[in-house]
Structure 1
C-alpha cells in the first residue's frame, strides 16, 4: 500500500483557534481512508487549544517535544545543516567574483564549531545566520560570519539576542573605504525611530500587509518603506512583487523585538502597547479622511477590520471625548457598509463587543450608550445589510426604534422620507431573528459555552449559528424527514439529531461531517440527550422506547420500554437516571424505575449557559 506523508508546519499560526482544532479533528479522520496509508507530520508551538485538540482524538498520534530531544542529536543535525549551507554560500560567492574567492576549507572548523555552539538548540538561529552570511549588502561571507561570531564572546545574552542583534546592528554601521564604522548618535536615533515605526508595525500587525498598504497606513511614501526594508531580508520575507505582503521569516523575531524584560539590552526594542496605540490612531485617521469611507466605497480593509484590535492592544479606556467615539458618530454606517461589502459584517458585532469592554465606566456614559445601541442596531439589521448594504441608510434606520441613538445620530439620511412608519420608542427584548429554514423549527440547543446555537427543522436540516452574531456557520444535511431534536455534547465537538425518519445522526460540529448513524426505531425520534461525559446518548421515540447508545462505537447499550411517547429526556448530572416526560427512569443494571411524573412537552428547547 502506498504511503503518503503530509507535512503541516506551524499549526499554531492559524488565524483562529477554531481553525487549528478543526484541522486536528480532520487529521484524526484520516484513519478512515483505506486506499492509501496517510501519515501527517505536524509542527506547532504547544498552545493550549492545540494540546487539547490532540488529547480529544485519543491515542492515534505520537507526541514529540523538541526540548526533550537529546542535545547531541540536535547539535549533530544543526552541524550538518550549517556545513551544507555554508558550502553552498561559498560556491555561490566564488562564482560572482573574479579573484581567488573563499578557500575550499572555508569556513575553518573552529568557526563552524563556534557557530554550531551558538545555534544549539535553535534551528532558526542557524537558518537566520545563513541568510545574513549570504547577504552581500553588508560584506562578503567571511566578514559576515566573523560579525556573528563576535557575539559568541558576549555573555549573558539570550539566544534570540545572539540570533538577531548581529543583523540589526548593521543598520547602525556606515560603510567606508576602511570598513564599517559606527554612525553618529543622532543618525542612530533616526534609524531606531524609523525602525520602530516601520518594522515595529510589521511585527504588531494582525494581518500582514504589502509594502504599498503598509506605506499608506503609516502615511509614508512606498519608496521610503521599500528602501528602509532593503537591508532586512535576513529577518523579513520581502517579495519583489509590491502587492505581496511583507512577512516575518519566523515568529521568534517578533518575540525578540517586543520582549519587555530585555528592553534595556535591545536598542531596537518595540513598545507593543505604544505601537498598538499609534496604529489604532492611524487606522481611524485613514478611515476618517477624504473619501476612504463614503457611501459605495469599500475603503481600506485592514483599517476597517483591525482598528479595534489595535485600540484594545493599546489598553486604552474609552471616554466620551475619545477619537473612537468621534469616528463612530460620523462614520458608523460607513464602517458597517464597508464590513458588509467585504463579507465581514458579522465580525462587526464582535468588534462592538470588544469596544464595550474598553469603556471607562466613570467617564464613558455617552460612548457606552452609543455602543449598546450600535450593537442592537447591527443585530437587528444584520441579515438585511449582509445582502443589501445600502439599506443601512434607509430601511435599517426607518425600522429602528424612534429613541435609538443610531437613528437619532444619522436621521439626516432619512429626512427625505416624508411618511415614516410608527415605531416603538425603545428596543424590545428580541435581540435577533435568525432566518434560513424552509420549514417549522422544532428544536434548538446552545453549546455549553453559549457560543453556538443549533436548530433542527421540518425541512430536514440542522443549522449551526454563531450565537453572538447570528451568522450561519454551517448547514447539516442527511436526514430524509424533519429533525425533531438536537443536542450538543458537553465539549461542543459533536451534535446529535433525532428525526422523523427514525434515525439519530452524530455530527462533527467543526467540520460538519457525519460521524455515525444510529438505527433501530420504528417511529419518530422525538428527543436526544448526551450524558455529562458525552460517552452515552439517550433517545426517545414515538414507538414507546428509550434507547441508550455508546457514542464512541454507536453500539446500542439498552432499550427501555416506556409504552408511551418519549418527548422529553435528559441525563441527571450523576448519570444514574433520566428525567423524562413520564418521570425519572433509574439506570441500574439495565432496569428502570419510574417516579415523579413530569409535564409532556411536544417539542424540544434549550437555554444558553447564562439563561439569557
Structure 2
C-alpha cells in the first residue's frame, strides 16, 4: 500500500485547479494507493474534488475532541521546551499551561506563535507577557503589527513584510537584500538582516536562510486586515520598488558567460553553479522583473522609475542586457516561464501607448526569443552563437548585439532580411504528433 498525503490544499496558490483535478482523477486509478488531503472547508475545493471516487470526508468540526487532545499535547511539548531553554520553575510552567490551554481555541499555529513570543522572557515577566497575548490569530497578528510599528526598525520591517507579501516565491536572504531598497546597506551584514526578519517573527520565518510566511493566514491578514499599515501607498508602489531594484541588480550583475562555461555546446544539465554563485542575487529578478513591472500598473509613458520614464528604462535594458538576460534565464532553468513574461511586456507596452521604436524592439526581441528558445534553453551560450547567426539580418536584436557573434566563424549562413512565419519549433516528443492545442496565453 502507498499513502500520498497533501497538507493544506487551500494554501496552494499556483495551479491549484490542476492539482485538484490531478488528485480527483488519480485517486480512483488504483486501490493500492490512498490519498489523504487536508484543507479549510472551502466550497470551491469540495466541488473540484467531487470527481474522486470512494471518498470519505471527516470534518475536524465533528472531531473537536480529538483536535483538542492533540492541541493539549502540543502545548505541553512547547511549554516543556521553553521551561528547559529558559530554566523556568514549576509555578511559571503551570501558569503557561493554564493560559495557553484556555486561549488556544484548538489552534496549533496560535500556540506556536504565542510560545515564540515568550522566548527570551525573564521568569518574572512571563505571566504578564502571557496575559498580553490575545486569543485568536487575527488579534495576535494585530498585536504584532502594533509592536513592529513602535520598534526602532518599524519602517524597514514594514517594507520587508510588504515585499515578502507580493513576491512570487520564497526568496533567499541575498535575494531579499537585492530586492528591498531599505536593506541595501546590509549587503555585507546578513546577520542584521536575519535579526530584522526575526522582528517580523509572527509573520515571517527563516528555513535554511530562505524567507517564508509562517502560514497563509499571516499573508492573508496583511492584505485583508492590515492593508493600510503594510501598504500605505498601495501594492503597486511595492511592485514598482521591486522592479526598480530588480532592474538595477540585473544591470549590475548580468554579463556574457557568467558561469565561465566557454563552450557554446555546454549542455544545461551539466551546469553547476560556481562558488560563490554570481547569480545568487539575480535569480529572482531574472525570472520576475517583468511581472513586477506589470503589477506596478504604469498607465502611461509618464510613469517613472528612478526618475526615468518606464519606456526609457525598458528600452535601455533590452538594448544593453537582453542577450545576457536570456543566458541568465537558461542558467536559472526558467526559459518557459519567460514566454509568458514577454507576452506581458508586449501587452503592457501596447496599453501604455509607447512609441513605435520600443514597440518594434519588443516585438523583435519576442520573435528572437521564441524562434531560438529551444537552443537557448538547452545550451545557454547558444544565445550568442546559433541564435545570433541564424537570425534575420534585419533583426534589431542581432544588430544591437552583433559584437557578440562568434568571430571564429568566417562562412556565415545567408539569412533573409525579416523573420519567417515560423514562431517556434516544438521538440521533445518521442513519436508522431497527431494533434496540437495552443493556449490563449502563448505558452
TM-score by length of 1: 0.57
Number of aligned residues: 404
Answering whether residue 110 of structure 2 is matched by residue 125 of structure 1, we say yes
Structure 1 stretches of 4+ with a deviation exceeding 6 A read 46-49, 267-270
Alpha-carbon displacement from aligned partner over 1:44-86 (angstroms, at most 9, x marks no partner): 357898556523x3443245677xx36xx65x56654554444
How far residue 399 of structure 1 moved from its aligned partner, in angstroms, is 2.0
How far residue 354 of structure 1 moved from its aligned partner, in angstroms, is 1.5
Partner of 1:44: 39
Partner of 1:135: 119
Checking the alignment, whether the CA contact within 8 Å between 1:381 and 1:396 is kept in structure 2 is: yes
Partner of 1:430: 422
CA distance in 1, matches of 2:82, 2:101: 22
Q: Which has the higher strand share?
A: 1
Partner of 1:463: none
Answering whether residue 165 of structure 2 is matched by residue 203 of structure 1, we say yes
1:400 to 382, 391, 395: 391
Question: SS at 1:321's partner residue?
Answer: helix
Partner of 1:230: 198
Question: SS at 2:133's partner residue?
Answer: helix
Alpha-carbon displacement from aligned partner over 1:330-372 (angstroms, at most 9, x marks no partner): 1111111111223322322221011112123423433322222
Question: SS at 1:385's partner residue?
Answer: helix
Q: CA RMSD in A?
A: 3.6
Matches within 5 A, 1:93-108: 93-96=82-85, 100-102=89-91, 105-107=94-96
CA distance in 1, matches of 2:245, 2:43: 33
Partner of 1:391: 382
CA distance in 2, matches of 1:137, 1:313: 42
CA distance in 1, matches of 2:327, 2:376: 8
Alpha-carbon displacement from aligned partner over 1:201-241 (angstroms, at most 9, x marks no partner): 223221212223322443233132112123344433324x4
Partner of 1:28: 27
1:9 to 7, 13, 17: 7
In the superposition, relative to structure 1, how do residues 17 and 370 fare at CA in structure 2: closer, same or farther (>3 Å)?
farther
Partner of 1:310: 292
In the superposition, relative to structure 1, how do residues 198 and 438 fare at CA in structure 2: closer, same or farther (>3 Å)?
closer
Checking the alignment, whether the CA contact within 8 Å between 1:211 and 1:225 is kept in structure 2 is: yes
Answering whether residue 237 of structure 2 is matched by residue 274 of structure 1, we say yes
1:293 to 254, 271, 276: 254
Q: Which has the higher helix share?
A: 2
CA distance in 1, matches of 2:318, 2:36: 47
Matches within 5 A, 1:145-184: 145-149=130-134, 160-171=137-148
Question: SS at 2:157's partner residue?
Answer: helix
CA distance in 2, matches of 1:309, 1:384: 24
How far residue 17 of structure 1 moved from its aligned partner, in angstroms, is 3.9
In the superposition, relative to structure 1, how do residues 340 and 97 fare at CA in structure 2: closer, same or farther (>3 Å)?
closer
Partner of 1:345: 335
How far residue 22 of structure 1 moved from its aligned partner, in angstroms, is 6.0
How far residue 435 of structure 1 moved from its aligned partner, in angstroms, is 4.0
CA distance in 2, matches of 1:106, 1:22: 48
Partner of 1:372: 363
1:410 to 364, 386, 401: 401
CA distance in 2, matches of 1:206, 1:429: 34
Alpha-carbon displacement from aligned partner over 1:487-536 (angstroms, at most 9, x marks no partner): xxxxxxxxxxxxxxxxxxxxxxxxxxxxxxxxxxxxxxxxxxxxxxxxxx
Partner of 1:600: none
State which structure, 1 or 2, has the greater radius of gyration over its C-alpha atoms.
1
Partner of 1:61: 55
In the superposition, relative to structure 1, how do residues 143 and 357 fare at CA in structure 2: closer, same or farther (>3 Å)?
farther
Partner of 2:274: none
In the superposition, relative to structure 1, how do residues 90 and 223 fare at CA in structure 2: closer, same or farther (>3 Å)?
closer
In the superposition, relative to structure 1, how do residues 163 and 62 fare at CA in structure 2: closer, same or farther (>3 Å)?
farther
Checking the alignment, whether the CA contact within 8 Å between 1:258 and 1:271 is kept in structure 2 is: no
Partner of 1:336: 326
CA distance in 2, matches of 1:305, 1:408: 25
CA distance in 2, matches of 1:421, 1:363: 35
Structure 2 unaligned segments of length 5 or more: list them: 260-278, 302-309
Checking the alignment, whether the CA contact within 8 Å between 2:204 and 2:212 is kept in structure 1 is: yes
How far residue 104 of structure 1 moved from its aligned partner, in angstroms, is 6.3
Structure 1 unaligned segments of length 5 or more: list them: 153-158, 173-182, 453-466, 470-612
CA distance in 2, matches of 1:254, 1:225: 20
Question: SS at 1:237's partner residue?
Answer: strand
Alpha-carbon displacement from aligned partner over 1:536-567 (angstroms, at most 9, x marks no partner): xxxxxxxxxxxxxxxxxxxxxxxxxxxxxxxx
Partner of 1:488: none
Checking the alignment, whether the CA contact within 8 Å between 1:280 and 1:310 is kept in structure 2 is: yes
CA distance in 2, matches of 1:6, 1:435: 32
In the superposition, relative to structure 1, how do residues 102 and 288 fare at CA in structure 2: closer, same or farther (>3 Å)?
same
CA distance in 2, matches of 1:372, 1:49: 39
1:257 to 219, 222, 228: 222
Question: SS at 1:444's partner residue?
Answer: coil
Checking the alignment, whether the CA contact within 8 Å between 1:286 and 1:303 is kept in structure 2 is: yes
Question: SS at 2:393's partner residue?
Answer: coil
How far residue 42 of structure 1 moved from its aligned partner, in angstroms, is 0.6
Alpha-carbon displacement from aligned partner over 1:565-588 (angstroms, at most 9, x marks no partner): xxxxxxxxxxxxxxxxxxxxxxxx
